[in-house]
Chain A
Amino acid sequence: MKDKLLVTSSPQFHHPQSTASIMWTVSLCLLPAGVWGIYIFGMRALLVTLTAIVASVGTEALLGLINKDKTIFDGSAFLTGLLIGYNMPPAVPLYVIVFASVFAITVAKWTFGGLGANWMNPALAGRVFVFFSWTSGMTRWTLPHPGSADVITGPTPLGSIKSGLMTMADTITGPMDLLAAEGVPVSYMDLFLGRIPGSIGEVSALLLILGGLFLLIRKIANWEIVASYLGSFVLLVWVFGGFRYGQGLFSGDVLFQLFSGGLMLGVFFMATDMVTSPLTSKGMLVYGVGCGFMTYLLRFFGSVPEGVSLAIIFMNIFVPLINRAFQPDKFGKLIEEEAK
C-alpha cells in the first residue's frame, strides 16, 4: 500500500472544475445555438463548423508534436474551432475557415506560448484576420431557409441599416422602420429567436442567453463582465442611439441592438474568456464597460456594421494594464492606513 498512496502538498482535494472541464462545458453550452444555425442555414453551416473544429484541433495537434506536449484534450482548441465556425457566414469559402483556424492557433495562441499566455482571444483574432483579408467572402450572408435547399443571400439587419442610413427618408424613426423601408422587415421576435441572416452561431440570441446563464451559474463566465458589458452598451444605445434617426436623447432602440449581430455570442462566450479578461472583480467591471463602450462606438460610427469582435480584441489589449491598476486589497491594509 505504501507506494500506492499519493503524498502531495495541501490542499488534499480539489474543486470539481478543471481546465478541461471548463472548456468542454463552454463548448456544450454553445451547442444549442449552433444546432439552431444549422437548422435555419442548412447543412452548409454544419460543414463550416466542422471544418473550423478539424482545422483548429489539427493545428494544435501538429504543434503539439513539435513541442512534445499533448494539449488537444484540454478542449481549448476544440472551443476555439467551434467559436471560429460560429463566427463565420454559412456561405464562406472553406479555405477561409482553414486560414482563420490556423492563424488563431498558430499566431494568436502558440507564438505567445500556448494556452493561457495569449493576450487576445484566438477565435476572435482568427475571425478578424480573415475578415480583413477576404472581406467579400466574409460578408456574403445566407437568408434563413429552414428545411429548403435553396440558398439565397441577403444582408444582415445590422448591414442593412448601415447601408440604409445613407439614403434614409425623413419618416424613419428607428432601425425597425428602416429595415421595413429597405424591404427586409424583421420583428423583434425574429431577432430574438434568430430568424435572420448572420454568422452561424450568433443569430439565436435566446439559445446563447440560455447557454450563457448556465455558465454564469457555474461561475465559468463572470457576472461582472456580462453585467458591465451589457449594462454600459444598453445605456449608451438607449441614451444616444436615437440621434442617427433624428430623434432626441433616450430614444435608442435597445432591443434591436441587443439581439442583432454577434453581441450575445460576444458578451457571454468571448468577452468572458478567462485567459484574455482581467483577474479582479473591479478590473472585470472596467473591462466590461470598455467592451460596451467600444461596441457602441464601432456599431454606430465604424465603417463596418458589426463591432463586437473588434471591441473585445481592443479591450484585450488593455487587460495587462487593468490587471496592474486593479490589484486586490491586501488583508491588514485597513489597519495600516488607520495607523498613518
Chain B
Amino acid sequence: MSRFKTFPKGGIHPTDYKEATCNKEVQNASLTSTAIIPLSQHIGAPSECLVQKGDLVEEEQIIGKSGGFVSANIHSPVPGEVLEIKKIFLPNGMAVDAVVIEVKGEFKRLGKDADLRDWSGMSNEEISAKIAEMGIVGQGGATFPTHVKLSLPKGKSCETFIINAVECEPYLTSDHRIMLEKGSEVLEGIQIMQRLLSPLKTVIGIEANKMDAVELLQSLITEKGLDIEVMPLEVKYPQGAEKNLIKAITGREVPSGKLPLEVGVINANVGTCLSVYEALVLDKPVIERVVTVSGGAIKNPSNLKARIGTSFRSLIDDCGGFSEEPVKIIAGGPMMGFAVYDLDTPVTKGTSGILALTSKEIKAAKPTPCLSCGRCVSSCPMGLNPTKIFKYIDFNMTEEALEAGLMDCVECGSCSYMCPAHIPLVQGFRGGKKIIRKKSMKKAGQ
C-alpha cells in the first residue's frame, strides 16, 4: 500500500524504463534543413493553409490558420522557402496536408536575450486571444486546442484546476524534465490559466516516481506564495488518463460520455503550461517541444528540444543512432503511442516521445484463445469487461458491445498489455467503435 492517493479501480504497473532519460538535461536537437509541418496537429478541424509553393516564410509566421472553433493556428518553426505542399500520413494513420519548408534565412531568437512581457495588465479576453493565436494545444497526447478548453461555457465554473504532471507512460520523461528545468516558468503558466478560470483549488498531480519534481515545485510555490497544491500520487498506469486523474485527486467520477467540467474540473498538461508561459511572456508560438527519444535500440537515449517538423530520423541521429536493429518505432509512449514505419515522420505538437524498441522489450507472442484469466477485467481502469466486449465485437453484436460499455473504453491498453493470450483487445475496440460510429452516421443520414 502506498501512502499516496490513486484511482481505485484497475490499473497496471508496467516496467517504466524511465531511468534511461530521467536524469538527462534537455538538449537542443540539431536544426533540420527541411521541416515537414502537418496542417493538422490537433483534435478538430485541420488548419487552413496560408502559403503556397515558392513562398518565403519567416520563423514563427502563421502558415496554417485555425480552421474552425475547435482548431488551432500553426506557425512555421523555421525561416525558409515553401518547397511543396504534400499529403503525408501521420502516425495515427490519418492522411493530412503538410507544408514542406527548406530552411533559409535568419532565425529570430537564436543567441538573443529574451524580452519578457508582463501579462498582469492584460484582460482575460486578451490572454485568451493570445493563447489561441499562439496555437497552443494539449501536449499530453490528446492535442485538444487549449483556448477552447479554457473558455468556460456560460453557467459552468471550474472548481478544481488540475495540472497533469503524471506522465504515466513508460519511457517518457519530457514532462519530468520540464518541471525540473523550467519549474518557475511552468508555475507562471499555471498562474496565467488560474486568472482565466478562477478555480477554487489548483492541484498539480505528480506520480511519486518524480519526487524531485514534487519537492522542487513545492519549494518554488512556498517561496512565491502561490495558491497551488502539489499532490504526489501512487505510481500506477493510466493515472494520466483524464478521468482517472480526476478520480485520484478529487474522488469524483466523470459520468460516461461527459466532460470533466461535469464535476467542475479543467485539466492541463505540464508542457501546455510551459507553452502558455512562452506565449504570454515571451510572445512565442508553439514551434518546438521537448521529445523523449528512448528505447532499447537507441544508442544514447535523451530528451531533445526539437522544432516541429523535424524528422524522427534526425532526432534519432542526434541520439547516436541505433545500437541495434529496432523492431518497432513508436510515436508517443508504448501504451498508447502509434507504431510508425517511416522515419521521415515529423515531430508534431503532440509528439511526446520517439521510441525504438527491441524484440526483447516488446515481448510479442502469437495470440491464443482467451483463457478467461480475468486479468483484462481486473486491470481495466474504466471497470469494463474487455474479454466480453471483445467477443461481442467479434460476433458482430454491436448493440451488446455498446450496452457493455464499449464507448467508455479510453483505449489505455491496460487490458491488452496484461492479456496472457496476447489478444489484440484494444485494436478490436477501435474497430468496434468505428463500426458503431458508421452505423449511427447512417442512421442520422436517413
Contacts and interface: CB of A to CB of B under 8 A. Distances in A.
Given A14-B362, A278-B374, A332-B256, A2 B422 contact: no
B329 A18 contact: no
A22 interface: yes
B381 interface: yes
Nearest to B374: A279
Interface string A3-24: 0111111111111111111100
Q: Which of A9, A114, A275, A278 has the most CB of B within 10 A?
A: A9
A132 interface: no
B116 interface: no
Contact of A328 (B258, B330, B377): B377
A329 B338 contact: no
Given A5-B327, A5-B328, A330-B256, A15 B363 contact: yes
10 residue pairs, one from A and one from B, having the closest CB atoms = A11-B413, A116-B369, A9-B427, A274-B373, A279-B374, A19-B368, A331-B382, A12-B334, A18-B365, A330-B383
Nearest to B335: A11
Interface string B66-102: 0000000000000000000000000000000000000
B325 A4 contact: yes
Nearest to B243: A331
A14 B413 CA distance: 10
Q: Which of A22, A275, A335, A336 has the most CB of B within 10 A?
A: A335
8 contacts: A6-B362, A8-B339, A8-B424, A9-B424, A10-B334, A280-B377, A330-B383, A333-B253
Contacts of A21: 420
A13 B341 contact: no
A166 interface: no
A173 interface: no
Interface string A308-328: 000000000000000000011
B363 A13 contact: yes
A274 B374 contact: yes
Contacts of B357: 12-13
A124 to B, nearest CB: 16
Contact of A6 (B339, B363, B383): B339
A335 B262 CA distance: 10
Given A6-B328, A7-B340, A10-B413, 6 more contacts: A9-B430, A13-B170, A18-B365, A116-B369, A328-B384, A335-B254
A43 interface: no
Contact of A333 (B383, B420, B430): B383
Given A13-B334, A275-B371, A330 B417 contact: no
B384 A116 contact: no
B426 interface: yes
B370 A116 contact: yes
Interface of B: 9, 12, 14, 170, 243, 247, 252-256, 258, 263, 325-330, 334-343, 355, 357, 361-365, 368-374, 377-378, 380-385, 387, 405, 408, 411, 413, 416-422, 424, 426-427, 430
Contacts of B385: 279, 327-328
Contacts of A113: 369
Interface of A: 1-2, 4-22, 71, 74, 113-117, 222, 274-281, 284, 327-336, 339
Given A4-B325, A331-B243, A12 B335 contact: yes
Contacts of A277: 372
A10 B9 contact: no
Given A12-B337, A13-B363, A116 B343 contact: no
B14 A19 contact: no
Given A11-B334, A13-B357, A278-B374, A116 B9 contact: no
B435 to A, nearest CB: 15
Nearest to A281: B378
B263 A329 contact: no
A114 B385 CA distance: 22
